Amino acid sequence: MKIATSLFAVCVLIAFPMFADAGKESPYAGSISCRECHERFYQLWSTSMHGLAMQPYSANFAKKNLSQHYGDIAIGQEKYRYDINDGFVKEMGRNGTKKFKIEHVLGGKNVYYFLTPFKKGRLQTLPVAYDVHKKEWFDTAASHIRHFPGDERGESMDWREYPYTFNTSCYNCHVSQLSTNYEPETDIYHTTWTEPGINCETCHGPASEHNLIAKAAPKGQPLPEPRIISFKTMTKAQRNALCASCHAKANPLTVEYLPEHRFYDHFDLVTLEDPDYYADGRDLGENYTLTSWSMSPCSKSGAIDCMHCHTSSGRYLFKKENFNNACLPCHEDKVKDSAAHTRHAAASEGDKCISCHMPMTAFARMNRSDHSMLPPAPAATVAYKSPNACNICHKDKDASWADTFVRQWRTRDYQAPVLKRAALIDAARKRDWTKLPEMLAYITDLKRDEVFATSLIRLIPPSEDQKVMSTLLAAAKDPSPLVRGAAVQALGLIPTTESVQALVEATGDDYRLVRVRAAAGIADFPGMTVPPAYQARLQKADDEYLASLTARPDQWTSHYNMGNRQLGRGETKKAVASYQMALKLDPKAIMPMVNTSISYARMGENDKAERSLQKALKQAPDNAAANFNMGILKAENKDLQAAERYLKIAFKSDPQMAQAAYNLCIITAKDRIGEAVSWCRRASDLRPQEPKYAYTLAFYLNQKGERAEAVRILKGLVEKYPQHRDAEMLLKEIAKYRLQ
């Protein structure tokens, strides 16, 4: 039994670590130390959403910002109510009445969330939150259920679970110089930070030395050596990366990230393989803008960065009277006569550039602008249900109405490229490989968008198909480290000489992301002999890979991925221990249960393997991976009837699971050759790039007596794979039979 051990994508955003070397004075001085020389900037920062990203709860805060909570909010079998008089949230339910003290407040632009102390050093997000605009209280977790058309995500998660733990999840971008200080052995946090909110030193670096130099310098004279990071000396890429460290849906590779560092040395970016994005690239509405920003023509031009439109504290730079000046100087003609371009009245809401190019959507009661800056594409709304600017304003009209207007207004079909890319993503998500040649061609197209190319690489199943291999090998040399990282990760799942050579070369890449992905792939070849010239850089890349796996020991995925590494190296007992740690952190995680069973099966302990799968199936009876592996285990134990039952459930749960159809073909071929051919045909149709499936289909077609079709398939195989000896031999056997 083999399962792909690719990294599991999780949104984990890391704040900057506190200086924690015992016996040494911290290089961080705190924002208050900036005030003496920078009073104006201090005032702008301290009242900004960055400065107030987290703040202590107090009676004064409540009086100024909150309203009394009337009535109860029912969540499951409990009811909750906030009491403004004592600063507690009351829980009433099965276990009587409990009171949770509010210690900290998060956010405030759209919503206030509240933190309460929990056992083992945790700060937990309380189950009720406050809508700033509507002045009302609501169920925190229920607001986070995904809302894609036809793809609702079921029940909300319990507020006590780890995604709502401040120490664990994405909220660490609400404090400065955070040290999570998690102890896996005891499951205890000793979390510290220097200041709530995003402080001055988050973006400018530690200020202690700068302050000493400033105090020693003559008044009014420039500092001999600033010893502080200035935005003025940063490149546009550095400024973008600085903001992206919090405003991105990303996976961390390191424990720390500092100003002026490169994003892809510390993070991997989530792209359209994640269902939080529509097929055309529009996002759900969360405040993770780097993915959409990376698709923006304005960003790609290199002419602007985040601080072209925003201050360092996050405010919009341009006032009402010159709102569209953000688009200068590149679009001067359109800004000067905006009404002619927008077809809306001058100075109206529809006349703002951002109304059409950065429409605002809402998720979890938070309003966010689309940073792709692409023009409205109502045709994509018709095809993929993604939001478009026209209908966000004109709610009484439909997307077809909007599409008619934009096509009348613009003779150039600017929507065509959007639809073409979206069609490829949509097909890949549905595992419709009839468009595979177009997908592969797009990845290597010189005009490709790096986000779409990366998404396709992550969605296309890695295989030894020569066209897939050629595309991945070419993408491993792409100018974008994001594309290279995705290609190298895919190559790590293909056991060929070419892919291994590419992985070894990639360990010397300029970006850590690519080196880490290469080391992860090489980890599955523990006995590989490496030339001496490459050994040092392979060791460095492997050290970086291990560090990436241990960067967040409080995430179950870290231990799951460590288990995958150990499983690939044949360290099955260690793998089991890692998977068990993952399950300790999240008892509901299915894949650690599945991979635990694989580890036990490799050790020959099939009873334990089966118990692990039974546990997974009790948690998720229709889970495709759990049913598939149970089917394989039953087949190995000669219980073919049970194997067939589990494999059919797997295929029903995931109708694109070609390997389930293939194994059903093998099982049913013993006494139902017609059914076997049907299953094998499904596998081959689902994975036309997999030669094993096509060969097996031809083999059973020949046994069934349908030799003409078998010959056709075999000839295609030999033409595509000249070294496919089994196909050549079967062709010769069929030819010999015909001559007799």
pLDDT at 221: 87
For the chain, domains (ranges, CATH) are 31-231 (no CATH), 621-740 (1.25.40.10)
Q: Over the chain, what is the mean pLDDT?
A: 91
- Which pLDDT does position 723 carry in this prediction? 80
Residue 576 has pLDDT above 60, yes or no: yes
How large is the average pLDDT for residues 153-162? 82
- pLDDT for residue 240: 94
Is the pLDDT at 568 greater than 90? The verdict is no
Q: What is the pLDDT of residue 147?
A: 66
Output the pLDDT for position 10.
33
Q: How confident is the model at residue 256 (pLDDT cuts 50, 70, 90)?
A: confident
Report the greatest alpha carbon distance in the chain: 105
Share of the chain above pLDDT 70, in %: 95
pLDDT band at 19 (very low <50, low <70, confident <90, very high): very low
Phi, psi of 96 (to 5 degrees): 85, -150
Q: What is the pLDDT of residues 31-77, one digit of tens each?
A: 999 999 999 999 999 999 999 999 999 999 999 999 999 999 999 99
Checking if the pLDDT of 433 tops 60, the result is yes
Q: How confident is residue 21, by pLDDT bands cut at 50, 70 and 90?
A: very low
- For range 186-197, the mean pLDDT: 94
- The reported pLDDT for the residue numbered 20 is 41
Q: What pLDDT is recorded for position 728?
A: 86
Q: Please state, as a whole number, how many other Cβ atoms lie within 10 Å of the Cβ of residue 714.
A: 27
Cα–Cα distance measured from residue 143 to residue 166, given in angstroms and rounded to the nearest whole number: 18
Answer whether residue 563 shows pLDDT above 80. yes
Mean pLDDT for 702-722 is: 88
The tens digit of pLDDT for each residue in 64-115 reads 999 999 999 999 999 999 999 999 999 999 889 999 999 999 999 999 999 9
Cα–Cα distances in angstroms (integers) from residue 227 to residues 27, 31, 116, 307, 582, in the given order: 11, 16, 38, 22, 42
Torsion of CA 71, 75, 78, 81, to 10 degrees: -30
How confident is the model at residue 463, as a pLDDT? 84
Question: Which band of pLDDT confidence, cut at 50, 70 and 90, is reported for residue 238?
Answer: very high
Per-residue pLDDT tens digits for 498-542 = 999 999 999 999 999 999 999 999 987 777 777 888 889 999 999
The pTM score is 0.89
The mean pLDDT of 317-330, rounded to a whole number, is 89
Burial-class residue 176 by CB neighbours within 10 Å (0-12, 13-18, 19+). Answer: buried
CB < 8 Å & 24+ apart, contacts of 67-73:
67/130, 67/135, 67/136, 69/128, 69/137, 73/127, 73/128, 73/137, 73/138, 73/139
Report the pLDDT value the prediction gives residue 13, as an integer from 0 to 100: 38
Instruction: Give the pLDDT band of residue 590 (cuts 50, 70, 90).
Output: very high
| Percent residues over pLDDT 90 in the chain | 76
- pLDDT tens digits, residue range 385-394? 999 999 999 9
Cα–Cα nearest to 172, from 134, 122, 218:
122
Length of the chain as a residue count: 740
The pLDDT assigned to 265 comes to 97
* CB-neighbour burial class of residue 708 (10 A; exposed 0-12, middle 13-18, buried 19+): exposed
- Give the confidence band of 581 by pLDDT, cuts at 50, 70, 90: very high
724 has pLDDT over 90 = no
